[in-house]
């Protein structure tokens, strides 16, 4: 039994649970006391939409995330190639698509640094791939290669491939050639993700896009006792084969229920309804301002999306739909409405993620249909991506309707915050600062209480864990975070995470991981 004590609060923990709070905790006479000084103890943060495996894998290749010019990215790729000789693929992710006009990156820029090894770099939004010429060559992409159904090959004036591939089927022309990651690499990525999350106070994550090898990695990390966060895994529904996926997804759900040890579940199915505005592939009700003949690139037809959502809902999977454009948001809402009408009632809690642009007529439907809006507050700001790519594509009227957080809350919708890491940093405090400051479109600003609720109780509701987590109360899981001050009385710019606990075990202290955090190690087999 341990006692966590701040200047204003005491919490007693035993057997992974909170057993007493306040004076009742002090009266237990616990001798194992952790003095947290003037800190503020809260239920740990949740992340309602992220990609931990991808975030961890980014640490295994060239570091291109924070590079501020194309030349800097190319130099970093060249450095990594020199330090890691061989003939294998060079892989990295999260380059800033705003660094090149219209997000169009040329293969020849990478050829200058690495002409003799295939290079594939994923954009920060993971909806584009920038390749060198050898990667294009190996994929057989030439001037005669047609654009696939769900994708686009950017081209030079003479029709030859430029080096940038947009969306699923185009990106997969290259990505499908890359050798599968070794299980130990994926487990190491989860270990790295755990370090990142512990440092920012996150203990539960909706992994919003997993493939079968990732499920295996999660369960292997559980077996090795080195997974330091809880996760629900969203298996991705493929519009071309979703019917055959139903039984496979159910088997994976059962595996996680059997072997996940209260850390890993697989209750969710992920749908990509569209792409992103920056590439012109988000699905819009009205044409793009810069390309009047285009409404974007819906991944599913509305009828097929509704059929698939209804089928998976009927199997009692939680629905989680990526919807950026207003047409995608409408299609997702329509699909959920049809599933509700077709299937017996159950505690479904469907999620629509991102909700960048929603038609005003559709915003009230979130509350009416019980849909959780899992939104990314870090995106709701004026930055180069917004000013150079997004707004010119949307035009001013639609640009002013982006990220309607306050409107959704006012109309009774449940909000849950997610980072979409590694698309954005994993730190919830960064999103909380933006959501409450909201200098751009301030009418959609949230107050501190609303924002913190979206990061804690909102995500706990999404996780269907509101009775076990999300509140400091007797009987709740001892998944906790300590801040260095009270955000109601201290500027969020000054707030830091000073400690994180998972099931009562401290996994982060100050700026250093606690010594008792287990480490993954490669299998000896």
| DSSP annotation string for 329-361 | HHHHHHHHHHHHHHS-------EEEE--B--TT
Residue 84 lies in a domain: yes
Same-domain check for residues 96 and 165? yes
Instruction: Please tell me the total count of domains within the chain.
Output: 2
Residue 397 lies in a domain: no
Mean pLDDT by 10 residues, the chain (525 residues): 93 95 94 93 97 94 94 97 94 94 96 96 94 97 96 96 95 95 96 97 98 97 97 97 98 98 97 96 97 96 98 98 98 98 98 98 98 98 94 96 98 98 96 95 96 97 95 95 93 94 93 46 42
CB count in 10 Å sphere of residue 85 = 8
Instruction: Find, among 246, 194, 198, the residue nearest to 217 by Cα.
Output: 194
pLDDT tens per residue, range 32-44 = 999 999 999 999 9
Same-domain check for residues 78 and 140? yes
pLDDT tens per residue, range 139-158 = 999 999 999 999 999 999 99
**295 Cβ contact partners less than 8 Å away, ≥ 6 residues apart:** 283, 284, 285, 286, 287, 288, 327
Residue 11 lies in a domain: yes
Same-domain check for residues 93 and 30? no
**How far apart are the C-alpha atoms of 224 and 227, rounded to whole Å?**
8
Q: What is the dihedral of CA 455, 460, 461, 464, to 10 degrees?
A: 160
Decide: residue 516, CB within 10 A, 0-12 exposed, 13-18 middle, 19+ buried: exposed
Same-domain check for residues 161 and 61? yes
How far apart, in Å, do the first and last CA atoms of the chain sit? Answer: 37
Same-domain check for residues 119 and 170? yes
Residue 431 lies in a domain: no
Same-domain check for residues 147 and 76? yes
**How far apart are the C-alpha atoms of 477 and 229, rounded to whole Å?**
13
| 370 within 8 A of 344, measured Cβ to Cβ | no
Give the per-residue pLDDT at 518: 44
Residue 342 lies in a domain: no
The model's pTM: 0.93
Same-domain check for residues 12 and 123? no
For residue 121, the domain's CATH number is 3.10.310.70
Same-domain check for residues 71 and 132? yes
Residue 493 lies in a domain: no
Same-domain check for residues 147 and 82? yes
Boundaries of domain holding 95: 55-175
* H runs (alpha helix) in 68-211: 70-83, 107-111, 133-138, 168-175, 183-200
**How far apart are the C-alpha atoms of 65 and 196, rounded to whole Å?**
15
């Amino acid at each position: 039994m341990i006692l966590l004590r701040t200047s204003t609060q005491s919490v007693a923990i035993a057997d992974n649970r909170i057993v007493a709070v306040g004076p009742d905790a002090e009266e237990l006479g616990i001798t194992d006391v952790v003095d947290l000084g003037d800190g503020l103890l809260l239920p740990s943060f949740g992340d309602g939409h992220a990609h931990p495996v991808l975030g961890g894998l980014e640490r295994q290749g060239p570091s291109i995330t924070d590079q501020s010019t194309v030349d800097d990215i190319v130099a970093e790729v060249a450095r990594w190639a020199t330090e890691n000789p061989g003939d294998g693929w060079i892989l990295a992710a999260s380059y800033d698509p705003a660094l090149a006009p219209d997000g169009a990156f040329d293969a020849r820029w990478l050829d200058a640094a690495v002409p003799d090894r295939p290079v594939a770099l994923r954009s920060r939004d993971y909806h584009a791939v920038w390749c060198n010429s050898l990667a294009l060559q190996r994929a057989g992409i030439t001037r005669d290669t047609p654009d696939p159904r769900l994708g686009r090959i950017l081209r030079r004036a003479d029709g030859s491939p430029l080096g940038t591939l947009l969306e699923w089927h185009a990106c997969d022309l290259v990505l499908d050639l890359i050798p599968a990651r070794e299980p130990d690499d994926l487990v190491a990525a989860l270990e790295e993700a755990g370090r990142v999350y512990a440092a920012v106070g996150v203990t539960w994550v909706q992994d919003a896009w997993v493939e079968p090898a990732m499920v295996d990695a999660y369960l292997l990390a559980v077996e090795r006792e080195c997974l330091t966060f809880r996760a629900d895994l969203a298996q991705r529904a493929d519009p071309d084969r979703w019917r055959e996926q139903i039984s496979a997804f159910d088997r994976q759900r059962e595996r996680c229920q059997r072997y996940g040890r209260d850390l890993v579940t697989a209750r969710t199915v992920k749908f990509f309804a569209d792409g992103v505005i920056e590439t012109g592939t988000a699905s819009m009700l009205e044409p793009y301002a810069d390309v009047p003949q285009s409404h974007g690139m819906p991944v599913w037809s509305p009828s097929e999306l509704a059929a698939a959502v209804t089928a998976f809902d009927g199997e009692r999977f939680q629905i989680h739909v990526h919807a950026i454009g207003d047409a995608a948001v409408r299609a997702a809402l329509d699909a959920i409405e049809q599933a509700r009408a077709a299937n017996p009632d159950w505690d479904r809690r469907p999620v629509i993620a991102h909700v960048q642009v929603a038609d005003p007529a559709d915003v009230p439907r979130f509350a009416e249909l019980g849909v959780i809006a899992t939104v990314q507050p870090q995106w709701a700001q004026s930055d180069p991506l917004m000013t150079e790519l997004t707004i010119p594509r949307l035009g001013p009227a639609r640009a002013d309707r982006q990220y309607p957080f306050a409107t959704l809350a006012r109309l009774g919708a449940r909000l849950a915050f997610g980072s979409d890491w590694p698309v954005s940093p994993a730190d919830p405090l960064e999103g909380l600062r933006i959501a409450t400051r909201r200098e751009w479109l301030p009418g959609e600003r949230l107050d501190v209480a609303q924002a913190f609720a979206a990061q804690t109780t909102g995500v706990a509701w999404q996780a269907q864990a509101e009775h076990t987590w999300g509140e400091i109360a007797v009987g709740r899981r001892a998944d906790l975070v300590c801040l260095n001050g009270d955000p109601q009385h201290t500027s969020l710019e000054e707030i830091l995470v000073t400690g994180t606990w998972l099931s009562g075990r401290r996994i982060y202290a100050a700026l250093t991981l606690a010594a008792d955090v287990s480490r993954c190690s490669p299998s000896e087999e």
